[in-house]
Amino acid sequence: MKILTLETTCDETAAAVVTDRLEVLGAVVASQDALHQRFGGVVPEIASRAHVERILPVIDETLRRAGVGLRDLDAIAVANTPGLAGSLLIGLSAAKSLCVALDVPLIAVNHLQAHIYACKLASGEEVFPCIGLIVSGGHSSLYRCPGPLDFDLLGGTIDDAAGEAFDKVSAMLGLGYPGGPAIERAAARGNPAAFAFPRPFLQDRQRLDFSFSGLKTAVRYAIAGPGRLDFSQIRLTPEHTADLAASFQEAVVDCLVGKAILALELTGERTLCVGGGVAANARLRQRLQEEATVKGVRLYVAPLRLCTDNAVMAAIAVERYRAGRFESLELDVEPGLVRTSRASGTNAAGASKPIPR
Protein backbone atom coordinates (compact mmCIF):
# COMPACT_ATOMS: atom_id res chain seq x y z
CA MET A 1 0.00 0.00 0.00
CA LYS A 2 1.26 3.47 -0.92
CA ILE A 3 -0.16 6.76 0.37
CA LEU A 4 0.68 10.23 -0.89
CA THR A 5 0.71 12.64 2.08
CA LEU A 6 0.42 16.42 1.75
CA GLU A 7 1.34 19.14 4.26
CA THR A 8 0.45 22.83 3.76
CA THR A 9 -0.65 23.95 7.22
CA CYS A 10 1.61 27.01 7.40
CA ASP A 11 4.60 27.99 5.27
CA GLU A 12 6.10 24.70 4.13
CA THR A 13 4.81 22.96 1.02
CA ALA A 14 5.55 19.27 1.54
CA ALA A 15 4.67 15.87 0.14
CA ALA A 16 5.76 12.30 0.81
CA VAL A 17 4.98 8.77 -0.28
CA VAL A 18 4.76 6.28 2.58
CA THR A 19 3.86 2.60 2.73
CA ASP A 20 1.82 0.58 5.20
CA ARG A 21 5.16 -0.64 6.61
CA LEU A 22 5.99 3.01 7.43
CA GLU A 23 8.66 3.14 4.75
CA VAL A 24 9.29 6.57 3.27
CA LEU A 25 9.75 6.11 -0.47
CA GLY A 26 10.19 9.80 -1.24
CA ALA A 27 9.74 13.19 0.41
CA VAL A 28 10.10 16.86 -0.51
CA VAL A 29 9.80 20.05 1.57
CA ALA A 30 9.77 23.50 -0.04
CA SER A 31 10.47 26.11 2.64
CA GLN A 32 9.20 29.68 2.49
CA ASP A 33 11.58 31.17 5.09
CA ALA A 34 13.15 33.53 2.56
CA LEU A 35 9.74 34.92 1.57
CA HIS A 36 8.74 35.81 5.14
CA GLN A 37 12.12 36.85 6.56
CA ARG A 38 11.71 40.57 5.83
CA PHE A 39 8.42 40.58 7.77
CA GLY A 40 9.77 38.77 10.85
CA GLY A 41 7.01 36.17 10.67
CA VAL A 42 4.67 34.28 8.37
CA VAL A 43 2.36 36.41 6.21
CA PRO A 44 -0.72 34.23 5.49
CA GLU A 45 -1.48 35.68 2.03
CA ILE A 46 2.11 35.22 0.88
CA ALA A 47 2.13 31.69 2.26
CA SER A 48 -1.06 30.77 0.39
CA ARG A 49 0.22 32.12 -2.93
CA ALA A 50 3.50 30.26 -2.51
CA HIS A 51 1.62 27.01 -1.88
CA VAL A 52 -0.35 27.50 -5.11
CA GLU A 53 2.90 27.89 -7.04
CA ARG A 54 4.69 24.97 -5.41
CA ILE A 55 2.17 22.25 -4.63
CA LEU A 56 2.17 20.55 -8.06
CA PRO A 57 5.97 20.68 -8.58
CA VAL A 58 6.47 19.33 -5.05
CA ILE A 59 4.07 16.43 -5.68
CA ASP A 60 5.71 15.69 -9.02
CA GLU A 61 9.22 15.66 -7.53
CA THR A 62 8.07 13.50 -4.61
CA LEU A 63 6.62 10.87 -6.95
CA ARG A 64 9.81 10.95 -9.02
CA ARG A 65 11.98 10.36 -5.96
CA ALA A 66 9.65 7.61 -4.75
CA GLY A 67 9.78 5.88 -8.13
CA VAL A 68 6.00 5.58 -8.34
CA GLY A 69 3.29 6.94 -10.60
CA LEU A 70 -0.06 8.43 -9.70
CA ARG A 71 -1.80 5.15 -10.56
CA ASP A 72 0.34 3.35 -7.97
CA LEU A 73 -1.22 5.33 -5.10
CA ASP A 74 -3.84 3.71 -2.86
CA ALA A 75 -4.94 6.85 -0.98
CA ILE A 76 -4.27 10.58 -0.59
CA ALA A 77 -3.77 12.04 2.88
CA VAL A 78 -3.74 15.74 3.73
CA ALA A 79 -3.44 17.82 6.89
CA ASN A 80 -6.70 19.76 7.24
CA THR A 81 -6.34 20.98 10.84
CA PRO A 82 -5.05 23.12 12.50
CA GLY A 83 -3.26 25.81 10.52
CA LEU A 84 -3.68 28.90 8.33
CA ALA A 85 -6.99 28.73 6.49
CA GLY A 86 -5.64 29.73 3.08
CA SER A 87 -2.67 27.39 3.31
CA LEU A 88 -4.81 24.45 4.40
CA LEU A 89 -7.21 25.03 1.48
CA ILE A 90 -4.44 24.67 -1.09
CA GLY A 91 -3.39 21.26 0.22
CA LEU A 92 -6.96 20.05 0.64
CA SER A 93 -7.95 21.16 -2.87
CA ALA A 94 -4.99 19.33 -4.37
CA ALA A 95 -5.78 16.19 -2.37
CA LYS A 96 -9.44 16.18 -3.38
CA SER A 97 -8.57 16.66 -7.03
CA LEU A 98 -6.22 13.68 -6.94
CA CYS A 99 -8.82 11.53 -5.17
CA VAL A 100 -11.39 12.29 -7.86
CA ALA A 101 -8.94 11.70 -10.71
CA LEU A 102 -7.54 8.46 -9.29
CA ASP A 103 -10.70 7.17 -7.57
CA VAL A 104 -8.86 6.59 -4.29
CA PRO A 105 -9.93 7.42 -0.72
CA LEU A 106 -9.21 10.70 1.07
CA ILE A 107 -7.64 10.63 4.55
CA ALA A 108 -7.66 13.61 6.92
CA VAL A 109 -4.60 14.22 9.09
CA ASN A 110 -4.46 16.29 12.27
CA HIS A 111 -1.19 18.21 12.02
CA LEU A 112 -0.55 18.13 15.78
CA GLN A 113 -1.14 14.41 16.10
CA ALA A 114 1.24 13.89 13.20
CA HIS A 115 4.00 15.70 15.12
CA ILE A 116 3.72 13.10 17.89
CA TYR A 117 3.48 10.20 15.44
CA ALA A 118 6.86 11.30 14.07
CA CYS A 119 8.37 9.82 17.25
CA LYS A 120 7.01 6.37 16.39
CA LEU A 121 7.97 6.71 12.76
CA ALA A 122 11.57 7.65 13.56
CA SER A 123 12.15 5.23 16.43
CA GLY A 124 10.52 2.19 14.84
CA GLU A 125 9.13 1.40 18.30
CA GLU A 126 5.67 1.42 19.81
CA VAL A 127 5.43 4.70 21.72
CA PHE A 128 1.75 4.57 22.68
CA PRO A 129 0.32 5.11 25.24
CA CYS A 130 2.23 8.29 25.99
CA ILE A 131 2.12 11.94 26.92
CA GLY A 132 2.56 14.07 23.83
CA LEU A 133 4.17 17.53 23.96
CA ILE A 134 3.86 19.63 20.80
CA VAL A 135 5.88 22.85 20.73
CA SER A 136 5.93 24.93 17.58
CA GLY A 137 5.39 28.40 16.22
CA GLY A 138 1.64 28.13 16.54
CA HIS A 139 1.11 25.55 19.26
CA SER A 140 2.28 24.57 22.72
CA SER A 141 0.09 21.68 23.84
CA LEU A 142 0.10 18.62 26.07
CA TYR A 143 -1.92 15.51 25.19
CA ARG A 144 -2.57 12.15 26.72
CA CYS A 145 -2.36 9.67 23.86
CA PRO A 146 -3.76 6.19 24.66
CA GLY A 147 -3.21 5.14 21.03
CA PRO A 148 -2.09 6.58 17.69
CA LEU A 149 -5.60 7.88 16.94
CA ASP A 150 -6.63 8.82 20.49
CA PHE A 151 -5.54 12.24 21.72
CA ASP A 152 -6.93 13.89 24.86
CA LEU A 153 -5.97 17.54 25.35
CA LEU A 154 -4.55 18.12 28.83
CA GLY A 155 -3.51 21.74 28.45
CA GLY A 156 -2.00 24.30 26.14
CA THR A 157 -0.92 27.89 25.84
CA ILE A 158 -3.45 30.51 26.85
CA ASP A 159 -1.74 33.17 24.71
CA ASP A 160 1.48 32.96 22.66
CA ALA A 161 2.94 29.64 21.58
CA ALA A 162 6.58 29.01 22.49
CA GLY A 163 7.78 29.36 18.90
CA GLU A 164 5.90 32.63 18.46
CA ALA A 165 7.56 33.97 21.62
CA PHE A 166 10.96 32.95 20.24
CA ASP A 167 10.25 34.86 17.01
CA LYS A 168 9.10 38.01 18.82
CA VAL A 169 11.98 38.06 21.31
CA SER A 170 14.42 37.45 18.48
CA ALA A 171 12.99 40.50 16.71
CA MET A 172 13.40 42.59 19.88
CA LEU A 173 17.03 41.53 20.13
CA GLY A 174 17.67 42.17 16.43
CA LEU A 175 18.59 38.53 15.81
CA GLY A 176 16.40 37.94 12.77
CA TYR A 177 13.90 35.31 11.61
CA PRO A 178 13.24 32.47 12.22
CA GLY A 179 13.67 33.24 15.89
CA GLY A 180 14.21 29.76 17.32
CA PRO A 181 17.62 29.04 15.75
CA ALA A 182 18.69 32.70 16.18
CA ILE A 183 17.91 32.71 19.91
CA GLU A 184 19.63 29.35 20.38
CA ARG A 185 22.80 30.57 18.69
CA ALA A 186 22.94 33.73 20.79
CA ALA A 187 22.07 31.85 23.99
CA ALA A 188 25.06 29.56 23.56
CA ARG A 189 27.29 32.51 24.46
CA GLY A 190 25.16 33.85 27.31
CA ASN A 191 24.43 33.31 30.99
CA PRO A 192 20.99 31.71 31.53
CA ALA A 193 20.87 33.06 35.08
CA ALA A 194 21.65 36.67 34.14
CA PHE A 195 17.98 37.73 34.20
CA ALA A 196 15.30 36.40 36.55
CA PHE A 197 12.50 36.07 34.02
CA PRO A 198 9.12 34.63 35.12
CA ARG A 199 8.06 30.99 34.70
CA PRO A 200 4.25 31.29 34.36
CA PHE A 201 2.18 28.49 35.97
CA LEU A 202 5.31 26.48 36.77
CA GLN A 203 4.48 26.29 40.47
CA ASP A 204 0.85 25.30 39.87
CA ARG A 205 0.87 21.52 40.36
CA GLN A 206 -2.62 20.95 38.96
CA ARG A 207 -2.66 23.09 35.83
CA LEU A 208 -1.06 21.91 32.59
CA ASP A 209 -1.27 25.17 30.67
CA PHE A 210 1.45 27.46 29.32
CA SER A 211 1.69 31.24 29.04
CA PHE A 212 4.51 33.02 27.24
CA SER A 213 3.06 36.50 26.68
CA GLY A 214 4.13 37.79 30.10
CA LEU A 215 7.58 36.31 29.67
CA LYS A 216 7.89 38.09 26.32
CA THR A 217 6.87 41.37 27.99
CA ALA A 218 9.44 40.83 30.74
CA VAL A 219 12.14 40.56 28.09
CA ARG A 220 10.87 43.77 26.49
CA TYR A 221 11.11 45.61 29.81
CA ALA A 222 14.60 44.22 30.38
CA ILE A 223 15.62 45.68 27.02
CA ALA A 224 13.80 48.99 26.94
CA GLY A 225 12.21 49.54 30.35
CA PRO A 226 8.49 50.24 30.98
CA GLY A 227 7.10 52.90 28.69
CA ARG A 228 10.08 53.07 26.35
CA LEU A 229 8.89 51.68 23.04
CA ASP A 230 11.47 52.92 20.54
CA PHE A 231 13.78 49.95 20.02
CA SER A 232 15.63 51.77 17.23
CA GLN A 233 17.38 53.94 19.81
CA ILE A 234 18.60 51.03 21.92
CA ARG A 235 22.04 49.54 21.42
CA LEU A 236 22.74 46.26 23.17
CA THR A 237 26.22 44.85 23.52
CA PRO A 238 26.77 41.32 22.19
CA GLU A 239 27.23 40.12 25.79
CA HIS A 240 23.97 41.73 26.91
CA THR A 241 22.12 40.23 23.94
CA ALA A 242 23.54 36.78 24.65
CA ASP A 243 22.52 36.95 28.32
CA LEU A 244 18.99 38.05 27.44
CA ALA A 245 18.66 35.25 24.89
CA ALA A 246 20.01 32.61 27.28
CA SER A 247 17.81 33.74 30.16
CA PHE A 248 14.70 33.82 27.97
CA GLN A 249 15.44 30.41 26.48
CA GLU A 250 15.99 28.91 29.92
CA ALA A 251 12.66 30.25 31.16
CA VAL A 252 10.79 28.74 28.19
CA VAL A 253 12.58 25.41 28.61
CA ASP A 254 11.80 25.34 32.34
CA CYS A 255 8.08 25.79 31.61
CA LEU A 256 7.93 23.19 28.85
CA VAL A 257 9.91 20.54 30.71
CA GLY A 258 8.21 21.21 34.04
CA LYS A 259 4.70 20.84 32.66
CA ALA A 260 5.59 17.77 30.58
CA ILE A 261 6.95 16.00 33.66
CA LEU A 262 3.90 17.11 35.67
CA ALA A 263 1.62 15.61 33.00
CA LEU A 264 3.42 12.28 33.39
CA GLU A 265 3.02 12.40 37.16
CA LEU A 266 -0.68 13.36 37.08
CA THR A 267 -1.65 10.72 34.53
CA GLY A 268 0.69 7.90 35.55
CA GLU A 269 2.03 7.52 32.01
CA ARG A 270 5.67 6.47 31.63
CA THR A 271 6.41 7.59 28.06
CA LEU A 272 6.91 11.14 26.77
CA CYS A 273 6.90 11.99 23.05
CA VAL A 274 7.92 15.46 21.87
CA GLY A 275 7.53 17.04 18.44
CA GLY A 276 7.23 20.37 16.67
CA GLY A 277 9.68 22.99 15.47
CA VAL A 278 10.76 24.12 18.95
CA ALA A 279 11.64 20.50 19.76
CA ALA A 280 14.73 21.08 17.62
CA ASN A 281 16.13 23.35 20.35
CA ALA A 282 19.25 21.70 21.77
CA ARG A 283 18.77 23.04 25.31
CA LEU A 284 15.21 21.72 25.42
CA ARG A 285 16.32 18.29 24.20
CA GLN A 286 19.11 18.23 26.81
CA ARG A 287 16.81 19.14 29.69
CA LEU A 288 14.16 16.65 28.60
CA GLN A 289 16.74 13.87 28.53
CA GLU A 290 18.07 14.83 31.96
CA GLU A 291 14.59 14.84 33.52
CA ALA A 292 13.56 11.62 31.79
CA THR A 293 16.66 9.88 33.14
CA VAL A 294 15.99 11.11 36.68
CA LYS A 295 12.30 10.16 36.54
CA GLY A 296 12.89 6.83 34.81
CA VAL A 297 10.53 7.49 31.90
CA ARG A 298 10.89 6.65 28.21
CA LEU A 299 11.62 9.73 26.10
CA TYR A 300 11.15 10.04 22.35
CA VAL A 301 11.96 13.35 20.67
CA ALA A 302 11.38 13.67 16.94
CA PRO A 303 14.67 13.82 14.99
CA LEU A 304 15.62 17.25 13.68
CA ARG A 305 14.50 16.44 10.14
CA LEU A 306 10.97 15.71 11.41
CA CYS A 307 10.63 18.59 13.88
CA THR A 308 9.76 21.31 11.40
CA ASP A 309 6.66 20.85 9.25
CA ASN A 310 6.93 18.00 6.76
CA ALA A 311 4.72 15.41 5.07
CA VAL A 312 6.60 12.36 6.35
CA MET A 313 5.03 12.67 9.79
CA ALA A 314 1.63 12.46 8.08
CA ALA A 315 2.34 8.74 7.88
CA ILE A 316 -0.16 8.67 10.74
CA ALA A 317 -2.56 8.33 7.79
CA VAL A 318 -1.53 4.66 7.67
CA GLU A 319 -3.24 4.17 11.04
CA ARG A 320 -6.41 5.82 9.76
CA TYR A 321 -6.31 3.70 6.59
CA ARG A 322 -6.10 0.51 8.64
CA ALA A 323 -9.00 1.69 10.79
CA GLY A 324 -11.09 2.51 7.70
CA ARG A 325 -11.32 6.18 8.64
CA PHE A 326 -11.82 7.82 5.26
CA GLU A 327 -13.39 11.18 4.46
CA SER A 328 -15.96 12.34 1.94
CA LEU A 329 -15.08 14.99 -0.61
CA GLU A 330 -17.09 17.41 1.53
CA LEU A 331 -14.22 17.51 4.03
CA ASP A 332 -13.38 21.10 4.97
CA VAL A 333 -10.42 22.77 6.64
CA GLU A 334 -10.58 23.49 10.38
CA PRO A 335 -7.95 26.20 10.94
CA GLY A 336 -8.24 26.65 14.68
CA LEU A 337 -9.55 23.29 15.80
CA VAL A 338 -7.51 21.03 18.04
CA ARG A 339 -9.39 17.77 17.88
CA THR A 340 -9.70 15.40 20.81
CA SER A 341 -11.03 11.87 20.64
CA ARG A 342 -12.92 12.13 23.89
CA ALA A 343 -14.82 14.78 25.82
CA SER A 344 -11.74 15.92 27.72
CA GLY A 345 -9.96 19.04 26.60
CA THR A 346 -10.66 22.69 27.26
CA ASN A 347 -13.92 24.38 27.98
CA ALA A 348 -15.22 27.50 26.30
CA ALA A 349 -13.17 29.71 28.58
CA GLY A 350 -9.99 27.84 27.75
CA ALA A 351 -9.43 26.44 31.24
CA SER A 352 -8.17 22.91 31.63
CA LYS A 353 -10.64 20.20 32.57
CA PRO A 354 -9.78 17.51 35.12
CA ILE A 355 -6.89 15.27 34.14
CA PRO A 356 -8.13 11.92 32.72
CA ARG A 357 -6.62 9.01 34.68
pLDDT tens-digit map of 189-200: 999 999 999 999
Res 184 pLDDT > 70: yes
Strand order in the sheet with 140-147: 150-156, 140-147, 130-135, 271-275, 298-301
Q: What pLDDT, on the 0 to 100 scale, is given for residue 224? A: 86
Q: How sure is the predictor about 327, in pLDDT bands with cuts at 50, 70 and 90?
A: very high
Banded pLDDT at 352 (limits 50, 70, 90): very low
pLDDT tens digits, one per residue of 101-144: 999 999 999 999 999 999 999 999 999 999 999 999 889 999 99
Average pLDDT for residues 34-43, to the nearest whole number?
Answer: 87
State yes or no: pLDDT of 343 exceeds 60. no
The predicted pLDDT at position 342 comes to: 32
Residues 6+ apart with CB under 8 A from 53: none
CB burial of 156-178 (b: ≥16 within 10 Å; e: otherwise) equals bbbbbbbbbbbbbbbbbbebebb
Q: Which residues of 78-113 are buried (b: 16+ CB within 10 A; e: fewer)?
A: bbbbbbbebbbbbbbbbbbebbeebebbbbbbbbbb
Helix (H) or strand (E) holding 123: helix 111-123
The answer to whether 91 and 33 are in contact (CB under 8 A) is no
Per the CB < 8 A criterion, the answer to whether 285 and 231 are in contact is: no
Percent of the chain past pLDDT 90, that is, above it, reads: 86
Query: Residue 214: its pLDDT value, please?
Result: 95
Reduced to 3 states (helix: H, G, I; strand: E, B; else coil), residue 30 is strand
pLDDT at 339: 38
pLDDT value at residue 228: 63
Give the predicted TM-score (pTM) of the model. 0.90
Q: What Cα–Cα distance (Å) separates residue 163 from each residue in 28, 81, 181, 281? A: 23, 18, 10, 10
pLDDT tens for each residue of 207-246: 999 999 999 999 999 998 776 666 667 889 999 999 999 9
Q: Is the pLDDT of residue 356 over 60?
A: no
Reported as a pLDDT band with limits 50, 70 and 90, residue 336 is confident
Residue % of the chain over a pLDDT of 70 = 92
Averaged pLDDT score across all residues of the chain = 92
State the pLDDT at residue 349. 30
> 142 has which bridge partners?
133, 155
Q: What is the pLDDT of residue 229?
A: 64
The mean pLDDT value for 18-44 works out to 92
How does pLDDT run across 46-57, given as a tens digit for each residue? Answer: 999 999 999 999
What mean pLDDT is predicted for residues 299-306? 97
Q: What is the pLDDT of residue 225?
A: 79
pLDDT tens per residue across span 139-163 = 999 999 999 999 999 999 999 999 9
Output the CA torsion sign for 136, 317, 89, 29. positive
Q: What's the confidence (pLDDT) of residue 90?
A: 97
